Amino acid sequence: MLYHSTNNYQHTARLEQAVTRGLAPDGGLYIPDSLPRLPKAFLRNMSAMSLQEMAYAIIAFALKDDVPEDVLHDIVFSAFDFEIPLVKTAAGNHVLELFHGPTMAFKDVGTRFMARLLNHYRTRHPEWKTLNVLVPTSGDTGSAVANSFWRMPGVNVYVLYPRDAVNKIQKTQFATLGGNVTAIEVNGSYDDCKSLVEEAFMDSELNTVMRLTSAMSINYARLVPQMIYYFWAYTQLLREQKVNDLVFAIPCSNLGNLTSGLMAQQMGLPVKRFISVENQNNIFYNYVKTGVFTPKPTQYSIAPALDAGCPNNFARVVELLGSHENICRHIHAYSYDDNQIIETIRQTYRDERYLLDPHTAVAYRALAEDLQPGETGVALATAHPAKLKTLMEGIINESLILPAQLARFMGGKMHVVKMPNGFTAFKHLLLDNA
Ligand SMILES: *Cc1c(COP(=O)(O)O)cnc(C)c1O
């Protein structure tokens, strides 16, 4: 199968190039020329499969023969080795809990799959020597990416985070690892961290002496396994005979998870509509309402993983749906501010005894507002509430227990490199390690 750049249909690549480059040379995002449609009988039979079996069958179908069967089988089975429960709240809404992986955020599946696939390509390219993964983060991406590549021979990971904007629990998840993971504290904002990484990819000297790759959600390898979330929710509901008029509400930032949902739909999953939900960084919401896409500087909020002022995967959403009109047909958009997020968490905890994290809360609220009678709604829960422990305790006025998965990082020693916000310092740091 061929992949092309969202900037230019003529610029094509194979899966290996798309995944190892991340971004196309013209700055566009890779997307398959077409996604294959699953046979109807497959959809009906899916409910007899385990999560791992289903994931393998669908991903193998989506990637055709681009990855050897046994390699892909190992990658998928190890990336999907934890539960993804679909719970029903007291009000009868469904919540798909995507936070039971090693770092307790939904990104674990995508980053683990990508890390293993990149490692497969690395072993076929001895000339690369080391693969250097650069990742800017406001919290969740850095921890998921760092843990996915940790102790992988031949891979170095550089996590860049803004000095004042990442909470302690999330920081320990990548900064205590050490070994092949370097945590870099930048004296600047998340947008500054992102610019430093982008500059590194444009720097010809760096790119001749070392093999750089991006682990951001622009990497197609992160989007493919996330499709499974939607198929998995569908099969759980199939057992309850509730799959007609299925609606998914997704907490959105760079629109990677939404893109994966649209890809699942193109492969034949019957989804009636998606609900994209943002916080006050409501760039996509404004696009849906007005037809104009206007990136803005990122504003900090209490749902930090939703703080994106320029959603990376926007071009993929446009390409998959074609026009603004069609986007409005398939996606309803919502946006909530911090006060509304707090109100939703408190109310749901009080009335339903279900604790939403601030990211999940936006999706849960939008589902309640948007769902019509007869429809079945699923809100995607993207992070465990204890990841933002102090904040959550303040909101519900109760103390939370830190799950073992998060507590295990807390005793560790932090290894942090402090850096001014400037490209020269970053470049030297990379060259010194090359
Ligand atoms: C990354 C993240 C999101 C946003 O996902 P996108 O694919 O960037 O839209 C939502 N919630 C949490 C907890 C995240 O970590």
For a pocket test of ligand 1, which of 143, 169, 257 has the largest count of ligand atoms closer than 8 A to its C-beta?
A: 257
Domains of the chain: 83-104+222-402 (3.40.50.1100)
Task: Give yes or no for residue 261 CB within 6 A of ligand 1.
Answer: no
pLDDT in tens, 223-236: 999 999 999 999 99
pLDDT, mean of residues 116-138: 91
* pLDDT at position 22 over 90: no
Task: Give yes or no for residue 217 CB within 6 A of ligand 1.
Answer: yes
Do 120 and 67 form a contact (C-beta atoms < 8 A)? Answer: yes
**Residue with the nearest Cα to atom 11 of ligand 1?**
382
At 53, the amino acid letter reads: E
* pLDDT at position 217 over 80: no
Give distance in angstroms: CA of 298 to centre of ligand 1: 15
At 411, the amino acid letter reads: G
Q: How far apart are CA 351 and CA 432, in angstroms?
A: 56
Radius of gyration of the chain (CA): 20
Chain mean pLDDT for the chain: 93
Task: Give yes or no for residue 110 CB within 6 A of ligand 1.
Answer: no
* pLDDT at position 140 over 90: no
In ligand 1, which atom is closest to the CA atom of 308? 8
> What is the pLDDT at residue 218?
86
**Residue with the nearest Cα to atom 10 of ligand 1?**
251
- Pair of tokens at residue 366: 């939008």
More confident residue, 412 or 347: 347
pLDDT, mean of residues 131-138: 91
Task: Give yes or no for residue 101 CB within 6 A of ligand 1.
Answer: no
For a pocket test of ligand 1, which of 214, 277, 306 has the largest count of ligand atoms closer than 8 A to its C-beta?
A: 306
> What is the pLDDT at residue 406?
86
Task: Give yes or no for residue 105 CB within 6 A of ligand 1.
Answer: yes
Task: Give yes or no for residue 312 CB within 6 A of ligand 1.
Answer: no
Task: Give yes or no for residue 305 CB within 6 A of ligand 1.
Answer: yes
> What is the pLDDT at residue 150?
94
* pLDDT at position 202 over 90: no
pLDDT in tens, 287-340: 999 999 999 988 889 999 998 888 999 999 999 999 999 999 999 999 999 999
Give distance in angstroms: CA of 255 to centre of ligand 1: 8
Give distance in angstroms: CA of 252 to centre of ligand 1: 6
- Name the pLDDT band for 215 (thresholds 50, 70, 90): confident
pLDDT, mean of residues 28-36: 94
> What is the pLDDT at residue 396?
97
* pLDDT at position 411 over 90: no
Q: What percent of the chain has pLDDT over 70?
A: 100
Task: Give yes or no for residue 251 CB within 6 A of ligand 1.
Answer: yes
- Residue partners of 176: CB distance under 8 A and separation at least 6: 409, 412, 413, 414, 415
> What is the pLDDT at residue 268?
97
For a pocket test of ligand 1, which of 114, 140, 161, 224 has the largest count of ligand atoms closer than 8 A to its C-beta?
A: 140
Give distance in angstroms: CA of 42 to centre of ligand 1: 29
> What is the pLDDT at residue 407?
87
Give distance in angstroms: CA of 30 to centre of ligand 1: 20
